[in-house]
Structure 1
Amino acid sequence: MTLPNQRAESTSARPEQHPEFERMVADFFRSVSFEEGEKPNYKHIHELFIEGGKLIKNSLDTPEISSVDEFIDSRQKSVDAGDLTSFREIERAAITEVFGNIAHRLSTYEKRGRLKGKQFEGRGVISTQFIKTPSGWRMSSMAWDDERPGLTLPDRYEYEKASAP
């Protein structure tokens, strides 16, 4: 069997080729970010994901695997209870690979916020998968892990996005 010659593209060197991935990740971060006295726009996350999409926090011994609704509900409860009073997350760097109708974006992020009256901050890596649908690109899953003692970002992840302001 002969396969057609279709090469994967990396957008790390040419981010202008697929700005929709950068936009979608930025939209996600805007949806979860809010300052004290504001409310997050969690409902917008539905527009970014396919039906059945998954969000996976894998920073503890057991992965926390959520549907989009479960992810939103758990965070909204924390905001409504007054536990989470601010949160900001930004993408610092990214590598995007595209092959046909699938894509993967590996991003480094920084976050900060206030939970139960205590300031927190951190960094980590998010792996986001995208699929092309009849209505355009959508996220199918997002998994992340935070830095912690014994786990720090490798030097190769310490680069700036070419399009960062």
Structure 2
Amino acid sequence: MRTGYWTGWVTAMVMALGGVANAQPGQAEQAAPQPAAAAAVAAPAPAAAVSARPADVATVDGIVAALYDVISGPAGRPRDWDRMRSLFAPEGRLMAVGARPEGVYALRTMTVDDYIGRNAKAFATMGFFEREAARSTEAFGQIVHVFSTYESRHAPGDAEPFQRGINSIQLVNDGKRWWIVNVLWRAEDASLRLPERYLPRR
């Protein structure tokens, strides 16, 4: 979710997730919990007690689209960080897998505020737009796993993304709304290309 060494939701830490999210409608709406079963899930409070936009958290499509949208924008345009905070459960984390020079892979874990602190400066000088290019979804009751292929660009009109990868997004519904629990991403590179099944259908 942010660009640079650890990019990958995004180029990732600047992942930031970038481009306008192009959520594919209709794939997960049926995953909303039944009212009777939802009572078993405790309702989390937003990380900063920020009220969410109802449309952002009413459906899986809505919250995934909001995630991509909130990190995207031209250089120097402030992001609506309270909107981003409102999407995540209090325990929510963002995590990036990145290659180290010695040939091993490391996991960087961030709170939402860690992510904001790491990327605010980069967003001030660099355009970053991330969009969803393809998606596969698994659901069971109140939990949903979205495997979201992302494309990162410096401007919405760029012909080709400078980065692609997978955002693995875990979601939970408390009977009232959806919450992001975790976002884990890994960028494509020369040693690991996106397989056909995770590319947009043509």
TM-score normalised by length of structure 2? 0.63
CA RMSD of aligned residues (A): 2.4
Aligned twin of 1:127:
168
Q: Is the 8 A contact 1:43 1:72 kept in 2?
A: no
> How does 1:5-154 map onto structure 2 within 5 Å?
15=27, 16-17=29-30, 20-60=59-99, 61-80=105-124, 82=125, 85-113=126-154, 121-154=162-195
Provide structure 2 residue ranges, at least 5 long, that are not aligned to the other structure: 1-23, 32-57, 100-104, 156-160
User: Quick check: which one's strand share is greater?
Assistant: 1
Percent of residue pairs bearing the same amino acid type: 29
Question: Aligned residues, how many?
Answer: 142
Query: What is the SS of the residue equivalent to 2:162?
Result: strand
From the CA coordinates, give the structure whose radius of gyration is larger.
1
Specify the code of the residue in structure 1 equivalent to 2:89. I
Q: Which runs of 4+ in 1 moved over 6 A?
A: none
In the superposition, the TM-score normalised over structure 1's length comes to 0.76
In the alignment, structure 1 segments of 5+ residues that lack a partner are: 1-11, 115-119
Deviation at 1:131, TM superposition (A): 1.0
Is this contact kept in 1: 2:25–2:61, CA < 8 A? Answer: no
Q: Say whether the 8 Å CA contact 1:33–1:87 is kept in structure 2.
A: yes
Larger RCO (CA within 8 A; separation ≥ 6): 2
CA contact (8 A) 1:52 1:68 kept: no
Distance 1:156 1:48 in 2: 28
CA distance in 2, matches of 1:98, 1:112: 30
Q: CA deviation at 1:153?
A: 0.3
Once the 2 structures are TM-superposed, how far is the Cα of residue 28 of structure 1 from its aligned partner? Answer: 0.7
**Local SS of the residue matching 1:58:** strand
Cross-structure match for 2:19: none
